[in-house]
Structure 1
Amino acid sequence: MDKERDSQRETLCLAVSPAGAKAATGGSDSTVRLYDLHTHQSILTCQARTVMDGHRSRVFAVTFHPERETEFISAGWDNTIQFWDSRQEQAVRRIWGPHVCGEALHVDAAKNQILSGSCRTHDSLEVWDYGSGLKVCDVSDPQQDSKIYTCHWLGESHMIAGGQANTPAGGQDNTLAVINRNSLQTEGRLGGLGSPVFSSSVCVCGKRSGLIAVSSGTSVYLLDHHK
């Protein structure tokens, strides 16, 4: 590894491959780095060779396809989602649009769709087709324009999105929303928090399936989706 370059790089996100053999990290130097979790060695630096095949700014989100060990995607400040194959250094394709500033990138293997959240007050939560890269829909709340910092699929029927919303009265509300995937309507909301929602996690199996963890400021909130 290039230790001098690593020491100057701020790591901003991490994801582990479905089989648990590899980890991908994104950071402040616009690269995505792949590591072997058995040897703890860097095995690949994924970076742009041209303006079309990699990131040009900070990378804030990276995630593997849940059913494809060699495929992962990343997003960040350069308004792109980049698609990577772990066997090559340059991105294989990209989606233009999302301005991602947090862990707001998630793949649903069942429907082969991507959920992305952007730090902006319009078109901030979007669904994309993984195979074609085409937008499936915008997920908008008519009552609030939200900057999204974190989002996840929640089972087959819902999604969650957290960040900071502008209210109709001109104020701001730090909030996490639970949204129906079919109707695109908000069905639950945790709001009035002291700080924006910057991270969240969903338990996908076992007796805690559907449990949502949310961080805001110095607090962590646990929500039971089924209740």
Structure 2
Amino acid sequence: MNWLSDGTLKFYKVSTGENTLILCDAEMMYNPAPVTAVKHRPVNTSHPITHTVTATYANGCVKCWHYPTAQCLYTIREKRQTLGLAYHPQLPKFVTVGDDMVLCLYDEETKTLERIFCGSHSMDVMDGHKSRVFSACFHPKSAYELISAGWDDTVQFWDTRQAHSLRFISGVHMCGDGLDISTNGKEILTCSWQREDPLQLWDYGSGKLIVSLEPDSYSSLLYAGKYVTSMYVACGGSDTDLFRVVDLRSHATIAMIRYFKGGVYSLDIGPNRLESKPGKRPTLPKLAFCAGTTIFEVDAQPG
């Protein structure tokens, strides 16, 4: 799948690269706006509808698409530039982020805004964002916790039952979807648009830095990053336009592609494959990322 500056979403067949579906409604045709993020709804028995994606747009639209029928199920219109979203892993809820420093939590079943997360008016307390927010991530083991990051050089920790953040990590300048939490909920991955320490791991409980993963040969200003498995992370960025898979045990790059015709601004991870047998090398899921105007699919297996 690819998303474009004219407000359309395009689906491609992996085996042939054939464009099989275009999603665009009348609203986007008459008032086109760049798509800023797309997320698949998590596969979960609590969600009544499957085969859907939700997209955010620079004009503030949030659209849920049922792609087998090419139908827009509903549209939420925010009064801001909406820059990203994240689904709750267990509940039919999602949060959107944007240029107004605010996180908005929506209930999918009622299609309503459930809560707004923001900083207080106190100038002496850092309990929310002070600039654009680009990335958010729910805690995989908690029904109430999430984190977010953006231009104000902080990662903010939120509880969905409270309007203001509880604590924060400083020194992380994020310009894309470069925030993730490990599946056990104990570590945070930050992929930052900064020359020093762009790739870092943090302890979720204490907020303390675990390690800064130094680049092997080429540094990059990172836009996107995710856990591939508990042992590997993938990231991509610009300046040196590259995509990289890093082994968290050795801190070594096991796969890297560079010299694209543009930066790597988004990436995603395919479904997990079956676990390898004892004595066999681990098997990683396939990865896909966009660099410039090209979509790449990668089968990055450790040597």
* TM-score, normalised relative to structure 2: 0.68
* 2:133 pairs with 1:39: no
2:285 alignment partner in structure 1:
210
- Residue 192 of structure 2 is matched in structure 1 by 118
Rounded to whole Å, the distance in 2 between the matches of 1:175 and 1:145 is 9
How does 1:101-112 map onto structure 2 within 5 Å?
Answer: 101-110=175-184, 112=186
Aligned residues: 216
TM-superposed deviation, 1:209: 6.0
8 A contact 2:133–2:149 mirrored in 1: yes
Aligned to 1:130: 204
AA aligned opposite 2:115: L
- The one-letter code of the counterpart of 1:33 is C
Shift of 1:20: 3.6
Q: Which has the larger strand fraction? A: 1
Within the alignment, does 1:177 sit opposite 2:244 as a pair? yes
Q: What amino acid sits opposite 2:294 in the alignment?
A: S
Matched residue SS, 1:151: strand
The farther-off stretch of 108-117 and 84-93 is 108-117
Q: Give the distance between the partners of 2:267 and 2:78, measured in 1 at CA.
A: 28
**What per-residue deviation string (whole Å, max 9, x for no partner) do you get for residues 1-23 of structure 1?**
xx9xx653111110000114210
Is 1:150–2:229 an aligned residue pair?
no
CA distance in 1, matches of 2:202, 2:130: 21
Match of 2:129?
Answer: 55
Q: Which has the higher contact order (CA 8 A, sep 6+)?
A: 1
> In structure 2, what is the equivalent of residue 8 of structure 1?
79
- TM-score, length basis structure 1: 0.90
Paired AA for residue 99 in structure 1: H
Give the residue type in structure 1 aligned to 2:112: Q
Q: Percent identity?
A: 33
Name which one, 1 or 2, has greater alpha-carbon Rg. Answer: 2
Distance in 2, matches of 1:43 and 1:188, equals: 42
1:120 positional shift: 1.2
Which of the residues 266, 289, 298 maps onto 1:199? 266
Alpha-carbon distance in 2 for matches of 1:188, 1:225 = 6
Displacement after TM superposition at 1:143 (Å): 1.8
Measured against aligned partners, the alpha-carbon deviations of 1:165-210 in whole angstroms (never above 9, x if no partner) come to 4xxxxxxx31101111011111111212111000001124257961
Q: What amino acid is the match of 1:224?
A: D
1:103-145 deviation digits (Å, cap 9, x = unpaired): 0000003261000011111111110000000000001114222
How large is the Cα RMSD of the aligned pairs?
1.8
CA distance in 2, matches of 1:111, 1:136: 14
Check whether the contact 1:105–1:152 (CA below 8 A) recurs between aligned residues.
yes
Q: Tell me the distance in 2 between the aligned counterparts of 1:204 and 1:79.
A: 32
Distance 1:190 1:20, change over 3 A: farther
How many angstroms does 1:94 deviate by? Answer: 0.7
